[in-house]
Structure 1
Amino acid sequence: MFGLCCCGKRSAKVEDVFRQTDSSERSVTIPDTPTEKILWLYRLFGRPTKKRQCVATSEDKPSGSKKKAKKRWWRRKNKVAPSPEEEECSKEEKRREGPEDQKAKMMGAKSVSTRQTHRYQCRGFPNSAQFCYMNSCLQSLLTLEDFVGAFRSQEQVWSSDPEAALIRAFMDIRESHLSPDAHRKIRLLVAFKEAVSVWAPEFQDFDQKDAHEFLTSVLDQMRSLGPQLQAAAASEGRIYSCPVEDHLVFKMQKTKTCKGCGAVSITEEEFTNLSLDLIPGGGTVEEMLRCYLKETELDYNCECGATTSCQRLSFVNLPKVLMLHLKRFRFTPSFQLQKVHDPVDLFRDLVVSSNQGGGCLSLVSTISHVSYTAECGHYICDGVDVNVAQEDPTDRWFTYNDEEVTETTGKAVCDERKNVSYILFYKRHD
């Protein structure tokens, strides 16, 4: 018998004695006699340090004890039952833990990945079919809390319009942003992509696309729904105000002056973003804006017979969110697409002047293209935490790399995205 126990082959009765039970989960039987029965196992090996309790049989257990124990399994002191979302996140964290994390837990330390990544996994979007360009654009738009809130406050208008499928798909993603259900998120992302592809068929396939082209198409389509939704709202006695118009659209003024007679021609044009040329060798965003707005010479046939004129650009007004596209791709003389790696010095604040006065804007999100070539690459997004104030001393940002989400700071983003930043979002101070 001693040999059997050493080899791990115990009888059913011995196995029942070794089976550990939680005193809070199972009931305990009280012996009928005051004398304690000494087991043969204790005679051979001695008593265990922690006294074990005998488990009552199913016949001895009172009715309803199982139900009572089931209620109490989570009810510890000063704690409440976890929500379904928290349980799903916890399961996902345990599934993702690596050997280093398990070793750290055994040593009494926190999991390495849990400290930074796992707390925010529910914020990410799965990349099932080269969706990184779309995921990055969506994360940047969701960082614009006022922009998203403007859609939410007018749900009664766009929710019933059959043509507003794009807005509904976008808001469905917003409502599931913090959900741990990856399968649901994939379905919503595919539905959003299909809604965009109705009027932009170039995004129908599952190939990698340009994030700037995709984001511009999304905003243009949302904006084009404005007149239709305004008419639908007016028929119901409501008012619809397009969030794209209110937050992202701004006007630029072009002033042309003939060099011959001095005649001036002024035109205005609306934009949702500006595309800026990179400065060879590196430069700041303010320097790139000054180069964009500086006076240039153009070929222009005037009535006086002159063939040249000067053109100057200026902001008529500043949007609530200024979106800047950095031209990191260009065509070579042989018409091959090439990526430009000139660094861009990013600063948290940007001062811009307009015909209505100057304004100060703060960087709230970036989209970066991580690659050495233009033929391939990966898009990631950095965005400020919308749950903290704009002047928050913790400077907490998030890096959204598809489903992987990590905590970072605005300072780290400005330092690390100099050579890969592609789209910048600046929010105007009220």
Structure 2
Amino acid sequence: MLDRLPGNPHDLSALATTIKMVSSCFNSLWCAPLAPVGFCHTGDKVFAWRRKGKVILNRRGKGSALQAAKPMRRPGARNHIGVSRFPNPVQNCYINSCLQSLLTLEDFVTDIRRQEHVWSAIPEATLMKYSTPQTQGQRIVKYAKVFDNTSSPLPPPTRSFMDIAASHFSKDYFHKISLLVAFKRAVSTWNPLFGDHCQKDAHEFLISVLAQMRSLVPRLQERAAAMGGAYVCPVESHLVFRMRNTRTCKSCGAGSAVEEQFTNLSLDLLPGSGVAQMLEDYQAGSDLEYRCSCGTNTSRRCSSFVSLPRVLVLHLKRFSFAQYLELKKVHDPVALPGELVVPSSQGLGGFRLVSIISHMGTTAISGHYVCDGVDPGLGQVDPTDCWLTYNDAMVTKRSGATLCRDRQTTAYILFYQRRVRGRNTSN
């Protein structure tokens, strides 16, 4: 799926008209239920696929041709790869990559699902809710209306992370598009930065989603208490960890310490090093200007882990400001270890790399995000080292070792899952 539409990406009326004509053509050609599995713009053509045929319409809707295509198989236990894709109609690869990484964290998704009775009871939790079932025609028409008028409100139940999780292996392409648009709307109501159709930073989007989920905690805990139970935030139980930041005077040794909570760490790139060395450098700290009571103006600041999360998210600073505040991309290679050992006040913690979000492109103002993740169909322990590369609507098989080598210059966000007693998650 292309990230950029031909012409003005903000003028989507022609796109909506074409989609309506495609759905009309489907209804006239086939009486059986429709199952479109692809949609893209290439030049002046719009393609829409179904089980046994392909309809081609130009952007003005003039003329159509039917061509033979291979029938799609039903997704099964060993046929989930081709249907776990997400479409990218309007520069939303940053959304797709973040969602694919979060969906790789099976225990995280399970914790959200098992507390459905709590978050489904309050209207504010639209980011996590399930949507009501709709017919194929309703989904296509809604998709056309969404892009025809991006300011039109959507029903709150459609704005759901869990509905996207439930439809992860669905072949219903148009339904996935409507869910992605609704999810983006839900995020943008809390953070207007993501309300337009421009490309955004994947790291900023990820932390915004996690912060929005955490903002619901007081309301959800209150609701759970009224129901005679308790609510545990999945973000806090899986991704949040505590660090102690210590400041020490370089002259007299006096200092102070404060503990902070994090959902991720942003690491400076060190040429010729790896993630483990960058994490050590982060904890080693740096000098800072601070006037101590002894009269010295220089102190040393360092950090250490107080607690370790179930999933450690590391953000590699691939973008930095050059002269005249020009944003540039840093292409320095970084060794990506499949295993990572992290010390803390509670002892050593072993982590396994389970997902990578990469930024493909030569500059900071353009590019494309892709996600690599462990194959969800092979369980928590995978001796075959089978990974999947999610490039929007295209999903391919790769090996973890190959990806760790190939992503050294493009890796942007890393997800390390903690190993406990032979598993990849802490319980």
Contact 1:93/1:118, CA 8 A, preserved across alignment: no
Paired position in structure 1 for 2:406: 416
Shift of 1:172: 0.7
TM-score, normalization by structure 2? 0.74
Structure 2 residue corresponding to 1:158, chosen from 119, 122, 130: 119
Alpha-carbon spacing, 1:136–1:159, altered in 2? closer, same or farther (3 Å): same
Question: 1:380 and 1:119 mapped to 2: Cα distance?
Answer: 18
Q: Give the length in aligned residue pairs.
A: 331
Cα deviation code 1:119-167 (max 9, x no counterpart): 6221001101101000000000000000000000000000121110112
Paired position in structure 2 for 1:48: none
**Residue 221 in 1 paired to residue 182 in 2?**
no
SS at match of 1:120: coil
Structure 2 residue corresponding to 1:145, chosen from 106, 125, 135: 106
Cα deviation code 1:385-406 (max 9, x no counterpart): 1232444222111110101111
Paired position in structure 2 for 1:257: 248
Question: 1:199 and 1:267 mapped to 2: Cα distance?
Answer: 29
Question: 1:269 and 1:295 mapped to 2: Cα distance?
Answer: 15
Output aligned runs, 1:292-371, within 5 Å.
Answer: 292-371=282-361
Contact 1:360/1:429, CA 8 A, preserved across alignment: yes
Paired position in structure 2 for 1:172: 163
Shift of 1:224: 1.0
SS at match of 2:363: coil
Give ranges in structure 1 of 5+ residues lacking alignment: 1-83, 97-101, 106-110, 112-116
- Greater Cα offset, 302-311 or 321-330: 302-311
Question: 1:94 and 1:348 mapped to 2: Cα distance?
Answer: 42
Tell me the C-alpha RMSD between the 2 structures: 2.5
Cα deviation code 1:27-47 (max 9, x no counterpart): xxxxxxxxxxxxxxxxxxxxx
Alpha-carbon spacing, 1:130–1:95, altered in 2? closer, same or farther (3 Å): farther
Question: 1:93 and 1:371 mapped to 2: Cα distance?
Answer: 34
Structure 2 residue corresponding to 1:205, chosen from 196, 199, 202: 196
Shift of 1:359: 0.8
Shift of 1:264: 2.2
Output aligned runs, 1:25-424, within 5 Å.
Answer: 92=50, 120-168=81-129, 169-280=160-271, 282-424=272-414
Paired position in structure 1 for 2:58: none
Paired position in structure 1 for 2:41: none
Question: 2:280 and 2:51 mapped to 1: Cα distance?
Answer: 48
Contact 1:318/1:359, CA 8 A, preserved across alignment: yes
Shift of 1:88: 6.9
Fraction of identical pairs, as percent: 56
SS at match of 1:408: strand
Give ranges in structure 2 of 5+ residues lacking alignment: 1-32, 39-48, 55-67, 73-77, 130-159, 421-427
TM-score, normalization by structure 1? 0.73
Question: 1:285 and 1:246 mapped to 2: Cα distance?
Answer: 24
Shift of 1:297: 1.6
Question: 1:203 and 1:300 mapped to 2: Cα distance?
Answer: 37
Question: 1:357 and 1:148 mapped to 2: Cα distance?
Answer: 27
- Greater Cα offset, 380-389 or 214-223: 380-389
Contact 2:94/2:201, CA 8 A, preserved across alignment: yes
Question: 1:307 and 1:342 mapped to 2: Cα distance?
Answer: 34
Question: 2:51 and 2:243 mapped to 1: Cα distance?
Answer: 49
Alpha-carbon spacing, 1:119–1:228, altered in 2? closer, same or farther (3 Å): closer
- Structure with the higher fraction of residues in helix conformation: 1
AA aligned opposite 1:364: V
Shift of 1:290: 1.1
Alpha-carbon spacing, 1:265–1:93, altered in 2? closer, same or farther (3 Å): farther
Question: 2:357 and 2:52 mapped to 1: Cα distance?
Answer: 30
